[in-house]
Structure 1
Amino acid sequence: MTWLKSARGPLGGYRPQLAVQFRKQCFYTAHRLRPRPVTPILSTCRRAVTTTTEAGDDDTGHIETKKNEGILFFDNVFPLKLLWLNRIPLFNAERAITNSLSKVNHPDLALADPSSIIKRALPDTLPLKVTQVLPRLREGGAFVKFSHEDGIRTTELESTLKAYLEEKPIKPWFNPFRRVRAFLVRGKPWIEDLYRIPSPRVKVEFLPTSPEASAAELTQETLYSLFRRYGKIAEIAQQPSDSKITPRYAYIDYSRMRFATVAKNCMHGYLLPAEEGGGKSGTLLKLSYESKMKAHWIRDWITGHPRIVIPLVVALLTAVSVAVFDPIRTFFIKMHITHGLKLEDYRVYRWIKSQLSRGYDIIRLRMQKGVDDNLKIIWEDRQGAINQLQTWLMETADTFIVVQGPRGAGKKELVMDQALKGRPNKLVIDCKKIQDARGDSATIAAAAAEVGYRPVFSWMNSISSMIDLAAMGTIGTKTGFSETLETQLSKIWGNTTTALKQIALSHRKDEKDGQMSDDEWLEAHPEYRPVVVIDNFLHKNNEGAAGMVYDKLGEWAAALTTQNIAHVIFLTTDVSFSKSLSKALPDRVFRQITLSDCTPEVAKRLVIQHLNAESDEEAAAAGDEKVTAAQRRSDLDELDSVIQVLGGRLTDLEFLARRIKTGESPGKAVRQIIEQSASEILKMYLLDVDVSSRKWTPQQAWLLIKQLAANETLRYNELLLNDLFKDGEAVLQALEQAELIAITSNNGRPYSIKPGRPVYQAAFEYLTDDEVLKARLDMAILAQLIGLENKNVEKYETELRTLAELPGTPSELKPRIKWCLDKAMASHAKIEKYEAQSGVLKKVLMDQF
């Protein structure tokens, strides 16, 4: 205590020179001489240390101080980036951190709990007593409340403590380049545990000391002198002079965040007296953290710059789609074509299938044999077409093949089961499924399913269209984010092209064909090219966006053939397919095979073969001798006559064979087929059901039926001269597409009209034999013709009225007047004729059911 007394000044305060000498002597005695007795002051300090919560005394937010008490703030005690721990539910971050740190207490590292760090930071001979330690985990420091004897100034204690920490620095493990610092708390700190993130910027507000007093706005010099002691200041920004915001404030930007935390904890609530520039009644300083970066600035910048952000997002999504999804889609297309994911490739599936099929091998083989025998007759009759197809697929030239024939002629079976039998890589695209889809999204999904293109985000097409509309209202232009149906289909066909080329090149051997480029190798090896079969081409060609879909298919097929990537075979019922395909390949000649109905001889053999297959199965099941259907049935002599009526359409022949199997005679079976066909014609073409979707009227269809019933073939151009067919060509094409009629061409021009199916000839005759139906539909034709003639009469009368209003009657107009009168008389005569015929038909309707 002798050194302590000698360090006092005449007024009871510390003299700095003697204080430093006193401190050095104490440390020399404490660390150099052993053993050393513990001083009463240090012992009291260690016994009095307590740790409180981050909410202050009794959770009031403040630390109460009395006379001879002060507060020190120690910086760099905790890591500064631990605020995120407070987000964890039911987790006390302060208690957990201090407890974990207290388990590691090394004398040379600041790894202990706050109390131990404070004890090491305070010299043993410093005349104070620590009463509380309040850690500030989120601000990386701790408050230390202490008491001291009378006559000792807290500022002198601060100076002595700073000099000690500079001579004996304590550097924590988490921040080894900066030491622990200590400062005297000059204000009244607000000890809160709110979720407020420290920032290098501190906002200093100038508040009055009482409601009736006024606060002074501090200058930059004053603020610098007050806050520079806590760290390097980067900038001091004062409130604009014209600002109306109260209370007045200023921003202080520190170069480091820890400098700002020390300043906020030491100067918050500091009362600046008048003699230091605080005004007449003084100014109270209120400090708070202010974020230097505006909250949500990234979101605000994105929403504020759509002209930049939207194109960048589109480019990013495009790049991701190309880099990530395109290889995946190409892989799935290859698996779809090569059947790489078939269950037959797995050993477990093959074993289960073999176990389940043991008991059904005999029945399955017999059924398969019967089907093969039935179709064998057809393939023998069309062996020339099969051989021609196989020859074209082996040639190195462009293979753009079209197989045309009516529906039910067996086009797909001939190509897939015979011409391409045993060929490994085949892709079948059914245009009917694509065309039957409703809406762009459904069309995209259907096209993708046909080639195995996945993943496909067809629903994104609608969303992207909405985004484009929003962008039009925001930035005035489209972003290009939405893609049309045409663009989406081009992507699907483009990925399919890539997959087909990879499949074709997978057979290439580098050691043998290493000198050839990919195009040269593909041209030299047509046997390895995959085959693309486009079925139901030009199905419902006149509906919706079908024209665009078929045009894209034609262009894609042309690219496949010209680049020697694949062989392409079109299957179509439309005789006008050349109009569509010529757009894709205007300078090439298509290789065409036309399938017609079977001849009567082949048709009869096919029906008998169906019946014989049934008798073979029954005889084998009963164990009897083999008996053919011709031997068992006596009514097969009717086949010659009924087949002449039924025709050679495969579907009709199979239907006939099934009805004969049920026990019906051939004549009765054909009559049933004719009646059923007549009912279909009546429902599909004649009744006024959903007329808006038709491109023909029931009167036009009935006129064709009536004339074809009388004559098996009509002259195409003669029919166009009929008054009901003013727009005749479009109507006839629509009826041909609906398969009511078939139009044959000669030298590239249509010249005759026939029934759409052979059985329709008999069905037309059956319909015209119904007097009531014929009278009703003929009356509808006559009513339409009467209406047309009445319009003609009105037109001529209007012209005559106009000519009559002219002054005088010029001789030059007399021929025109006579012509109008003759036309009006002729039309009137037709009207009288039609009305007379209509009267006769009305009588039929009144007399018959």
Structure 2
Amino acid sequence: MLRLVRIQPRQLAVRALWRFNSAAAAAAAAINEDCTPKESRLENQHVAETTGEVDTSRHEVLLYYSHLFVPTGKLSKYIPNVFRRRSDESLLDRVRKYLPPDIPAEVREFIPRSREGGAFVKLRLTDHTLNPEQAGKKLVEYVNENAPWSVLWTMRWKVFTVKGRPWIEDMKTGFTSTIRVTFDGSDVSPEELYAALRQYGRIETIEPPAPSNKDSPRSTIVKFTSFFDAAAARNCANGQIIQGTKISISFVLSQQKNFIVEFFNSHPRISVPIALALFAGLAFLIFEPIRILSIETKVLGLMNFTDYPAIRKTINYIRYWTNYLNVTGSKKKDDEDTIQDSWLELYNLAEELKLMLSEGNNTFMVVYGPKGSGKSKVVEMALENIKSPQLVIDCEALNKSKTDNDRLGTLSSTLGYHPMFLWANGISRFVDLAAQSLTGQSAGFSETTEQQINRILNTAATSIHRISVRNKPKDVNESDYLQRYPEAKPVIIIRGLTSKSDINKQIVDWAGALVQNNSAQVVFVTHDVSHDKLLARALPDQIFKTITVGDAGVDASLEYVINYCKTSRELKRKQNETGAEEMSSEEIHKTEHAKSVTKMDAKALDALGGRLTDLNSYARRIVAGEEPDHALQQMVHLSALEISQMFLSPTSNTEWTPEQAWIVIKELATHDRRQWFPILAIVNKEPAFSSDDQMKALVSLEYRELIAVRNIGGRVVGLKAGRPLYHAAFRELVGDTFLCALMDSKVLKYDIQAESDKIKKVETELKDLALLPSRRETQSRQDYLANKIYVSQEKINKWEKELAQKLLLAQKSLDSSKFQ
């Protein structure tokens, strides 16, 4: 009779397999037992589920087999099926196969321990004359000598005689090689424990109980090198009596630690940078394709629904029935017609730019001109009917950003770089600071603003290159395709470029890379006179295609203003026709003023000089109801007031002095506006511009658009008013008696001080010469220095007389203004 019990981790159950043969049946009949097979099975199940103990009779031997199969646990599911536990029947057959033939025994129970990779095997000796203890030793020796390899093929089976009373349980103890030996009586010495437990495997340490610990029961911690050895000791020696003391063995609950978490906590200098790098790489893999697609959508205008004919027709239909088309919708078209009809110069420049774009030259195209000269209008007309994708970058908006996050947000919105997590910058800086305080070094998680801008621009360059070759056949080379079809390359328009901004330098370098890679055509729209130096850094060996936009002539300016007033009058008439209200007397008066501009003499607009922004302001004033002469006078007066506040008021943070600005204003006011004023006339006459450092003030005044500078060979040779309207404002400032006398007196004081400083230097040299012996060689030098003192003193005397006159004139002008 055979009883085979299978113990599961969660439920202890007994499954009996009965195999009958003639020999087993005869042996079972010969043995006098008190229970039937059914009763025995139920009894064993009861014992396993209640007490967890396995009992043996007088003629039975209980063995423990180790290394039978792979223990079940969290990692067992990752082990191939060929290495996992076999069925109980197959294991039982293998156990029978390796029993010694000279010892008559049969397997009565087979209790597998899945969690520990072993099994209890209860054998019954059919020969009652054999000593169970001696028979057990022979069984262990035979099986250990002839045992097969385990399922992992790394070690053989191990068989041990169960000397104690095994305790079968399914508590959660985990995989541990440490056991706790509890003493039910006096303490067992480490030597005795070592002798009793060493047979089950190699022992690393034995930690006896502390002498100061008086708690009962006392225990010792024993650590084996292998979990299988600890499981064998626990199953075989539990309940064993050593030197009169019964020992109870249990697994020490292991603190199951996650290897990754433990490594992260133990090595922060290595784990923190690795974790942050993995996080950044994951974010890059997820969001970078989305950003590239977003930039392509922005450049191609896929989200601009007005480009679709059906939507555009619907919008125009709605505008028509809401009277929006009659009032506002025609204004843009009329403005374009006005420019093309009355300002033919801009139209010709636009055609020239369109021709440059069609050639597909690998260089920068620059539209240069002063503010308000119509540069943007030239670019707009040139790109109106071009099918190439377009992207506009406004550098002025980037330069006006106050914070780094605002600058990054503006750039990402301009390029269509989405998503952009600006809030993560503060978090990344905080994390980097925390990592630095923890590890002693920066984790490199946070980026500077320049690095983030470069990253955004690099992503945009990748997207733009993909757009340029999106329609390329597979069998055609990229360079040949782009050279043959320049319209496939996107057109990048960069407005408001200045040389005094770091982000503009980054954008220029990025644009240079696009041109060198033949990925796009770049058009710069700038009023900066030193733009060529900035662009030469990106393309040092290229010649730029430059279009210079100047001011229009007087006749063209007058025609533009007349057409503007006519357009405004027609729009007002259409609005009144669609509305129910009649025109008021004030509106009729404004309309009459708009009609009177057609009779204006062209010479009246000479002060505006054809600058588009000034002409628009002038025309709006006339449409608003002002007289033409009064409107022009107000514009000149406001410009004079602006110049007086910005350039003639003393400040400490400017690179020029009010005296230098006044000298330039006074000289240009008496000169013809259309001609360049020679710079030598100022340098040879005024001490305020006698040195190279003082000449730098002209560069600052040019950057502030007070003047325009003419350079030949890198040298300043001529000056002109920055805007034609400024020339009329210069004359008004010079015509102000009080202001002119006050500023002239400041200039004279500056000149007197400069000559006094010269005299002091000459006097110092004369004192040094006087200490030398009187010789003929130094006499000529003394005479020369004395003559310089005489000339400088004559100038001072002359300037002091003029200063007195200026101060008197200023006082008279101030007194006369009090009585007016």
Q: Give the TM-score of the pair, scaled to structure 2.
A: 0.70
How far does residue 442 in structure 1 lie from its aligned partner after superposition? 4.9
Alignment-derived partner of residue 534 in structure 1 = 494
Alignment-derived partner of residue 173 in structure 1 = none
How far does residue 676 in structure 1 lie from its aligned partner after superposition? 1.6
Distance 1:426 1:781, change over 3 A: same
Distance 1:632 1:455, change over 3 A: closer
- Could you tell me how far apart the structure 2 residues matched to 1:373 and 1:347 are? 23
- Could you tell me how far apart the structure 1 residues matched to 2:644 and 2:235 are? 95
In the TM superposition, 1:501-580 aligns within 5 A as 501-509=465-473, 514=475, 516-537=476-497, 539=498, 541-543=499-501, 545=502, 548-549=505-506, 551-553=508-510, 555-556=512-513, 558-560=515-517, 563=518, 565-580=519-534
Alignment-derived partner of residue 203 in structure 2 = 236
Which residue, 737, 741, 750 being the options, matches 2:707? 741
* Secondary structure of 2:294's aligned partner: helix
Distance 1:45 1:499, change over 3 A: closer
How far does residue 381 in structure 1 lie from its aligned partner after superposition? 3.4
Distance 1:206 1:407, change over 3 A: same
Alignment-derived partner of residue 583 in structure 1 = 537
Alignment-derived partner of residue 13 in structure 1 = none
Which residue, 396, 401, 404 being the options, matches 1:437? 401
Larger mean CA deviation between 727-736 and 810-819 belongs to 810-819
How far does residue 323 in structure 1 lie from its aligned partner after superposition? 5.3
Alignment-derived partner of residue 643 in structure 2 = 681
Deviations 1:311-363 (A, max 9, x none): x6787678657755543333222211111122347899769746743323333
Deviations 1:22-70 (A, max 9, x none): xx9899769999x986999988888899869xxx9xxxxxx9xxxxxxx
Alignment-derived partner of residue 706 in structure 1 = 666
How far does residue 643 in structure 1 lie from its aligned partner after superposition? 0.3
* Contact 2:415-2:460 within 8 A present in 1 as well: yes
| 2:357 is the counterpart of 1:393 | yes
- Could you tell me how far apart the structure 2 residues matched to 1:389 and 1:748 are? 27
How far does residue 658 in structure 1 lie from its aligned partner after superposition? 0.8
| 2:373 is the counterpart of 1:409 | yes
Alignment-derived partner of residue 815 in structure 1 = 780
- Could you tell me how far apart the structure 2 residues matched to 1:244 and 1:578 are? 89
- Could you tell me how far apart the structure 2 residues matched to 1:748 and 1:472 are? 50
Which residue, 178, 197, 201 being the options, matches 1:226? 197
- Could you tell me how far apart the structure 1 residues matched to 2:220 and 2:798 are? 105
Which residue, 750, 754, 761 being the options, matches 1:795? 761
Deviations 1:119-174 (A, max 9, x none): xxxx9999xxxxxxxxx99999999xxxxxxxxxxx99xx99x99xx9xxxxxxxx
User: 2:781 is aligned with what amino acid?
Assistant: R
Deviations 1:267-319 (A, max 9, x none): 68987438xxxxxx99998963556989754225643558xx85x67876786
Which residue, 582, 602, 607 being the options, matches 2:561? 607
* Contact 1:409-1:651 within 8 A present in 2 as well: yes
Distance 1:759 1:31, change over 3 A: farther
Alignment-derived partner of residue 298 in structure 1 = 263
Distance 1:27 1:616, change over 3 A: farther
Deviations 1:616-666 (A, max 9, x none): 234445559xx9968974465445243012221111111111111111110
* Secondary structure of 1:598's aligned partner: coil
Could you tell me the percent identity over the aligned residues? 27
Q: Give the TM-score of the pair, scaled to structure 1.
A: 0.67
- Could you tell me how far apart the structure 1 residues matched to 2:552 and 2:487 are? 32
* Contact 2:292-2:459 within 8 A present in 1 as well: yes
User: 1:236 is aligned with what amino acid?
Assistant: I
Deviations 1:80-129 (A, max 9, x none): 6489xxxxxxxxxxxxxxxxxxxxxx9999xxxxxxxxxxxxx9999xxx
How far does residue 742 in structure 1 lie from its aligned partner after superposition? 1.0
* Secondary structure of 1:784's aligned partner: helix
Alignment-derived partner of residue 771 in structure 1 = 737
- Could you tell me how far apart the structure 2 residues matched to 1:45 and 1:188 are? 14
* Contact 1:386-1:418 within 8 A present in 2 as well: yes
* Contact 1:206-1:215 within 8 A present in 2 as well: no
Deviations 1:195-228 (A, max 9, x none): 97542x2166899977xx8954567xx25x4264
- Could you tell me how far apart the structure 1 residues matched to 2:383 and 2:508 are? 26
* Contact 1:377-1:602 within 8 A present in 2 as well: no
User: 1:251 is aligned with what amino acid?
Assistant: K
Alignment-derived partner of residue 594 in structure 1 = 548
How far does residue 757 in structure 1 lie from its aligned partner after superposition? 0.7
Alignment RMSD: 5.7
Which residue, 310, 329, 336 being the options, matches 1:372? 336
In the TM superposition, 1:5-404 aligns within 5 A as 81=73, 197-199=174-176, 201-202=177-178, 215-216=189-190, 222=194, 225-226=196-197, 228-229=199-200, 233=201, 235-238=202-205, 251-254=223-226, 257=227, 260=230, 263=233, 272-273=242-243, 288-289=252-253, 296-299=261-264, 302-303=267-268, 305=270, 310=273, 324-344=286-306, 353=315, 356-357=318-319, 358-359=321-322, 360-398=324-362, 400-404=364-368
- Could you tell me how far apart the structure 2 residues matched to 1:240 and 1:795 are? 95
Alignment-derived partner of residue 66 in structure 1 = none
How far does residue 414 in structure 1 lie from its aligned partner after superposition? 1.3
How far does residue 714 in structure 1 lie from its aligned partner after superposition? 2.2
- Could you tell me how far apart the structure 2 residues matched to 1:318 and 1:490 are? 17
* Contact 1:743-1:754 within 8 A present in 2 as well: yes
- Could you tell me how far apart the structure 2 residues matched to 1:31 and 1:705 are? 136
How far does residue 389 in structure 1 lie from its aligned partner after superposition? 1.7
Deviations 1:699-757 (A, max 9, x none): 22222222222224421243344322332443212211111111134576542111111
Alignment-derived partner of residue 14 in structure 1 = none
How far does residue 573 in structure 1 lie from its aligned partner after superposition? 1.0
How far does residue 686 in structure 1 lie from its aligned partner after superposition? 2.5
* Contact 2:369-2:526 within 8 A present in 1 as well: yes
- Could you tell me how far apart the structure 1 residues matched to 2:386 and 2:30 are? 98
* Contact 1:203-1:249 within 8 A present in 2 as well: yes
* Contact 1:402-1:569 within 8 A present in 2 as well: yes
* Contact 1:638-1:667 within 8 A present in 2 as well: no
Distance 1:623 1:362, change over 3 A: closer
- Could you tell me how far apart the structure 2 residues matched to 1:48 and 1:293 are? 35
How far does residue 385 in structure 1 lie from its aligned partner after superposition? 1.5
- Could you tell me how far apart the structure 1 residues matched to 2:534 and 2:717 are? 20
User: 2:565 is aligned with what amino acid?
Assistant: L
How far does residue 765 in structure 1 lie from its aligned partner after superposition? 1.6
Distance 1:493 1:637, change over 3 A: same
Q: How many residues align?
A: 707
- Could you tell me how far apart the structure 2 residues matched to 1:787 and 1:265 are? 109
The unaligned stretches of length 5 or more in structure 1 are 1-23, 57-62, 64-71, 84-105, 110-122, 127-135, 144-154, 167-177, 275-280
How far does residue 431 in structure 1 lie from its aligned partner after superposition? 1.9
In the TM superposition, 1:752-767 aligns within 5 A as 752-767=718-733
- Could you tell me how far apart the structure 2 residues matched to 1:192 and 1:780 are? 103
Larger mean CA deviation between 261-270 and 779-788 belongs to 261-270
The unaligned stretches of length 5 or more in structure 2 are 1-22, 54-62, 76-86, 91-105, 121-131, 144-155, 214-218, 579-587
- Could you tell me how far apart the structure 2 residues matched to 1:582 and 1:661 are? 45
* Contact 2:276-2:445 within 8 A present in 1 as well: yes
How far does residue 667 in structure 1 lie from its aligned partner after superposition? 0.3
User: 2:204 is aligned with what amino acid?
Assistant: A
How far does residue 382 in structure 1 lie from its aligned partner after superposition? 2.7
User: 2:569 is aligned with what amino acid?
Assistant: S
Distance 1:403 1:336, change over 3 A: same
How far does residue 611 in structure 1 lie from its aligned partner after superposition? 1.3
Distance 1:815 1:449, change over 3 A: farther
- Could you tell me how far apart the structure 2 residues matched to 1:300 and 1:841 are? 82
